[in-house]
Amino acid sequence: MTKTTFFTAVILSLGLVAGQAADKVHFEDADFSREGWSDFTEIPGTGGWEVKRRDLGGLVQGMVQEISIEGSGGIFLSAGRGSYASVFRSEGVIYAVRFRDGERSLVGQADVADTVSLRLGFDGAFFIYEYRSGDEWSRLGKSDIIGVVSYTGGISSPNRASDMSGYRIVELESLKGVRFGYTNTPKIPGTPWVVHDPFRPQPHQIHPGTVAPSDVPGTPPSDAIVLFDGTNLDAWEDGKGNSPKWTLGDGYFECGKKSGTIRTKQKFGSVQLHIEWASPSEVKGSSQGRGNSGVFLAGIYELQVQDNYDNLTYPDGQASSLYGFRPPRVNASRPPGVWQSYDIIFEIPEFADGKVVKKARITVLHNGVLTQHGVEIPGILGHKKTRPYRVHGPGHIQLQDHGNPVRYRNVWIRELKPIQ
């Protein structure tokens, strides 16, 4: 076995902590004598390495674990199921490693002798892995997070931590450069939250399974209007009614640089819409800058498209959220570059004498998993704002250009007519 076939790791559950001008120590145990730890547990197949755990729960932005080590040992953050991050020293070499579902990635390493301090935490977008052998911290590397879950953390050691000391959990102001949300936005009707509230609970990240296959597109119902069958964009136009600038690929179409919003030529009211999409396989950016697009119903109500696989953002702005209003029940995202599906049931609002008499309603399945269920949409929502309804009728299905090369395929729609 290798030196890095062990450990357990990773953090998360977002929320901005405001108004703190200095670093804050949340837990400290210089010699591991305090309560709050689980017993030492040996890691099978590692030649005697053990872990000592504590429940870290939902860690906030800027939270790190630190420890001093004379010999071998390290710290970890665990999401369970073979998913963790760790920074540790073994035989004089410091390693930073990340495991996701048992798949290992070496983030960085360094040869450092004598007493060393290690740090592992979250800077608002990535895990950071650092060490200090003098006065300054050095960065071994950073990696994507593992999921939106509650975490356990603690130490890993081959000698029951006899040469380890100074464990603490610290909230570092220097790591709070990335903001995930806003606190100065309007309140969302019917909720205690403001639009894009960073304190709103994060949906738990799950594996969607194979309810909705991702390898090949399916076939539409016989009464569906096919909006894209993989061959042409005849059913689409740009925002001014001209031919769209999106690029055709092998069975898909893709948003290019400054392609602009694309929309259906036909307008629709209440519908069943099936659409498949894939974020770029090469991960760039974080939060709202990663694999971002959107599906607009009646040209107004946005269902967010975004790469939220190990990527945090404000809860009402992640994949399958009703943007600016309602997070999904769970985060059912697949990895970057893998095809995903939305199945959407949308009921258009009804108006009488200039007033809304029936609000819009939506149900969404993301990769076959229910993420929105008969949700009433309270008005016209958007980035950092909320507005009351305005009278409108059927509208275009629109796909947003947010500057990321998101792909779409197998798009079909069924109009939902009233039952006689």
Question: Is a pLDDT exceeding 70 seen at residue 179?
Answer: no
Quote the tokens at residue 279.
């974020």
Local confidence band at 63 (pLDDT 50, 70, 90 cut-offs): confident
Question: Is a pLDDT exceeding 80 seen at residue 11?
Answer: no
The region of weakest confidence among 169-178, 181-190, 274-283, 303-312 is 169-178
What is the secondary structure of 73-112 as a DSSP string? Answer: EEEEEEEETTEEEEEEEETTEEEEEEEETTEEEEEEEEE-
Quote the tokens at residue 52.
């000592």
Distance, CA of 84 to CA of 211 (rounded, Å): 27
The region of weakest confidence among 89-103, 170-184, 232-246, 350-364 is 170-184
For residue 351, which phi and psi values (nearest 5 degrees)? Answer: -130, 150
Residue in the block written with tokens 């991960």: 283
What is the secondary structure of 283-328 as a DSSP string? Answer: ----GGGSS-EEEEETTTEEEEE---TT----GGGSTT-BTTTB--
Q: Are residues 107 and 141 in contact, defined by beta-carbon separation less than 8 angstroms?
A: yes
- Helix, strand or coil, per DSSP, at residue 9: coil
Domains of the chain (ranges, CATH numbers) = 24-175 (2.60.120.200), 204-415 (2.60.120.560)
pLDDT (0 to 100) of residue 9:
28
- CA 159 to centroid of chain Cα atoms: 37
Question: Is a pLDDT exceeding 90 seen at residue 18?
Answer: no
Q: Cα–Cα–Cα angle for 261, 263, 235, nearest 5°?
A: 135
Mean pLDDT along residues 208-220: 79
pLDDT (0 to 100) of residue 361:
97
pLDDT (0 to 100) of residue 266:
97
- CA 138 to centroid of chain Cα atoms: 27
Mean pLDDT along residues 112-140: 90
Question: Is a pLDDT exceeding 50 seen at residue 15?
Answer: no
pLDDT (0 to 100) of residue 282:
87
Question: Is a pLDDT exceeding 80 seen at residue 12?
Answer: no
Mean pLDDT along residues 266-283: 95
pLDDT (0 to 100) of residue 21:
52
- Helix, strand or coil, per DSSP, at residue 174: helix
- Buried/exposed 280-312: b ≥16 CB within 10 Å, e otherwise: beebeebbbbbbbbbbbbbbbbbbbbbbbbbbb
Cβ neighbours, 10 Å, residue 210: 10
The region of weakest confidence among 10-19, 33-42, 398-407 is 10-19
In sequence order, the 6+-apart residues with CB closer than 8 A to the CB of 102 are: 82
Residue type, 177: G
pLDDT (0 to 100) of residue 338:
94
pLDDT (0 to 100) of residue 1:
35
pLDDT (0 to 100) of residue 8:
28
Question: Is a pLDDT exceeding 50 seen at residue 389?
Answer: yes
pLDDT (0 to 100) of residue 45:
82
pLDDT (0 to 100) of residue 379:
93
Share of the chain above pLDDT 70, in %: 93
Distance, CA of 334 to CA of 147 (rounded, Å): 11
Residue type, 238: D
In sequence order, the 6+-apart residues with CB closer than 8 A to the CB of 65 are: 75, 77, 119, 120, 121, 153, 154, 167, 168, 169
Answer with the residue of higher pLDDT: 346 or 18: 346
The region of weakest confidence among 60-64, 97-101, 135-139, 195-199 is 60-64
Average pLDDT, the chain: 87
- CA 207 to centroid of chain Cα atoms: 13
Per-residue pLDDT of 305-326, as tens digits, reads 999 988 888 899 999 999 999 9
Quote the tokens at residue 271.
């519908």
Question: Is a pLDDT exceeding 50 seen at residue 14?
Answer: no
pLDDT (0 to 100) of residue 16:
33
Q: How many CA atoms lie within 13 A of 24 on its CB side?
A: 13
Distance, CA of 70 to CA of 38 (rounded, Å): 23
Local confidence band at 20 (pLDDT 50, 70, 90 cut-offs): very low
Mean pLDDT along residues 284-289: 82
Question: Is a pLDDT exceeding 50 seen at residue 119?
Answer: yes
330-331 and 204-205 as β-strands: parallel, antiparallel, unpaired? parallel
Per-residue pLDDT of 248-269, as tens digits, reads 999 999 998 888 999 999 999 9
Local confidence band at 403 (pLDDT 50, 70, 90 cut-offs): confident
